[in-house]
């Protein structure tokens, strides 16, 4: 709110400076016809003074109307009546300043209509001129303020959308870590029951993976090479458990510093193990092919699977990652192929696509 208020007054100050300069220019241009005998230096000096005097009428009028428009809680008809009263009082103030101060004390002459006939304090022509001068200013200040408010509203909506996006992504990531940990601890539990010699190595490898998930994956983006390294660590844990697992890992990255949202890619590998390898009765295999060329990532995962997998196999991870891809890379391409004995996923992300977040 404080920054919004500061921005408002900066914009309004800038408006009044520009408005004052505009009015000085117009009045100075007009004064050479109204006061042809005055030197231009005198006319310019007088114009600066009188326009400054007019601001003492126009600024209170502007903010009185803005206050009624924004703050006063009245029925519309009463707001109109109040605004008419304020404008009428301001027109009278404008006339008083013009007739009794500006002409006699600044120009040193009596106010006239056409240079010959004396003008009174209240006259249809001069009142109309005062009214139009004030209405012109009112239109400008309201245009500036309404435009400013619309821009502030757009910024607030944009900020709320960004905050909502961050909250949803945080929630999704929070779902990923327990899901991964639950699966891996189940694996370690099974190995511990069998008193497998590899159990300590798996626990050490899990510690490395969880360190990545807790600390580095907390960042919005991370280098693609670090994310790939985490995938390799995860696969290493699974290879210790599945001795007959055949893993093919192909990596071709032309830019190791390319940034990616963490924990995006590993979910497909995790699903390949949970819903593929763990359900395969024969020799299991997983193929991982990840390539980055000219900012375009192509990620291919294929795994063996049982012809009739368990009907109640959970696929929370895949649903989760689909939602993350929709939020972070809306123009991504994701295709899934489910055959009798194998399951494959192909993901394409164009990091140079300006529509991606």
pLDDT of residue 279: 56
**Neighbouring residues of 202: CB distance < 8 A, sequence distance ≥ 6:** 187, 188, 191, 237, 240, 241
Alpha-carbon distance values, 185 to 181, 198, 265 (Å): 6, 14, 21
pLDDT of residue 355: 52
All domains in the chain, ordered by first residue? 2-157 (no CATH), 196-350 (3.30.565.10)
Alpha helices in 115-265 (DSSP H): 124-193, 199-214, 224-241
- Coil, helix or strand at residue 144: helix
- Predicted TM-score (pTM) of this structure: 0.53
Q: Are 32 and 68 in contact (CB under 8 A)?
A: no
pLDDT of residue 281: 53
Q: Measured in Å, how far apart are the chain's first and last C-alpha atoms?
A: 27
Alpha-carbon distance values, 344 to 141, 180, 215, 290, 306 (Å): 62, 20, 30, 13, 14
Of 288, 259, 252, give the one whose Cα is nearest residue 271: 288
Of 309, 191, 193, 184, give the one whose Cα is nearest residue 235: 184
pLDDT of residue 314: 43
| pLDDT tens over the chain, length 357 residues | 556 677 888 899 999 999 999 998 888 887 777 777 778 888 888 888 888 888 999 999 999 999 888 888 888 888 889 999 999 999 999 888 888 888 888 777 777 665 555 677 777 788 888 899 999 999 999 999 999 888 888 887 777 666 666 665 565 555 555 656 776 788 788 778 878 777 887 788 788 887 887 777 778 888 999 999 989 988 888 777 677 788 899 999 999 899 998 888 888 888 887 776 655 556 788 999 999 999 999 999 998 886 555 554 445 556 777 877 888 888 899 998 888 788 899 999 998 874 555
pLDDT of residue 74: 81
């Amino acid at each position: 709110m404080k920054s919004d208020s500061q921005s408002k007054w900066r914009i309004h100050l800038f408006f009044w400076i520009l408005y004052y300069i505009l009015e000085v220019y117009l009045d100075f241009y007009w004064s050479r016809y109204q006061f042809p005998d005055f030197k231009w230096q005198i006319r310019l000096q007088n114009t600066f003074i009188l326009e400054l005097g007019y601001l003492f009428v126009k600024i209170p009028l502007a903010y009185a109307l803005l206050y009624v428009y924004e703050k006063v809680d009245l029925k519309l008809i009463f707001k109109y009546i109040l605004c008419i009263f304020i404008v009428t009082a301001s027109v009278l103030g404008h006339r008083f300043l013009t007739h009794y101060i500006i002409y006699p004390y600044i120009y040193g002459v009596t106010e006239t209509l056409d240079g010959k006939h004396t003008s009174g304090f209240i006259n249809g022509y001069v009142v109309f001129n005062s009214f139009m001068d004030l209405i012109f200013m009112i239109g400008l200040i309201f245009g500036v303020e309404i435009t400013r408010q619309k821009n502030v509203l757009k910024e607030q909506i944009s900020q709320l959308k960004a905050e909502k996006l961050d909250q949803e992504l945080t929630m999704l990531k929070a779902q990923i870590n327990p899901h991964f940990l639950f699966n891996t601890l189940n694996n370690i539990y099974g190995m511990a029951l069998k008193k497998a010699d590899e159990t300590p190595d798996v626990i050490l490898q899990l510690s490395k993976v969880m360190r990545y998930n807790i600390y580095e994956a907390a960042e919005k983006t991370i280098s693609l090479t670090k994310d790939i390294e985490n995938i390799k660590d995860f696969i290493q844990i699974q290879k210790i458990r599945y001795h007959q697992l055949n893993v093919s890992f192909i990596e071709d990255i032309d830019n190791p510093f390319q940034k990616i949202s963490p924990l995006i890619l590993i979910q497909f590998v995790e699903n390949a193990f949970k819903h593929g390898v763990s359900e395969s009765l024969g020799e299991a295999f997983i193929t991982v092919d990840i390539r980055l060329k000219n900012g375009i990532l192509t990620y291919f995962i294929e795994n063996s699977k049982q012809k009739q997998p368990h009907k109640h196999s959970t696929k929370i991870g895949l649903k989760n990652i689909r939602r993350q891809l929709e939020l972070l890379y809306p123009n991504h391409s994701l295709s899934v192929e489910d055959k009798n004995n194998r399951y494959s996923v192909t993901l394409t992300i164009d990091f140079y696509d300006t529509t991606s977040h």
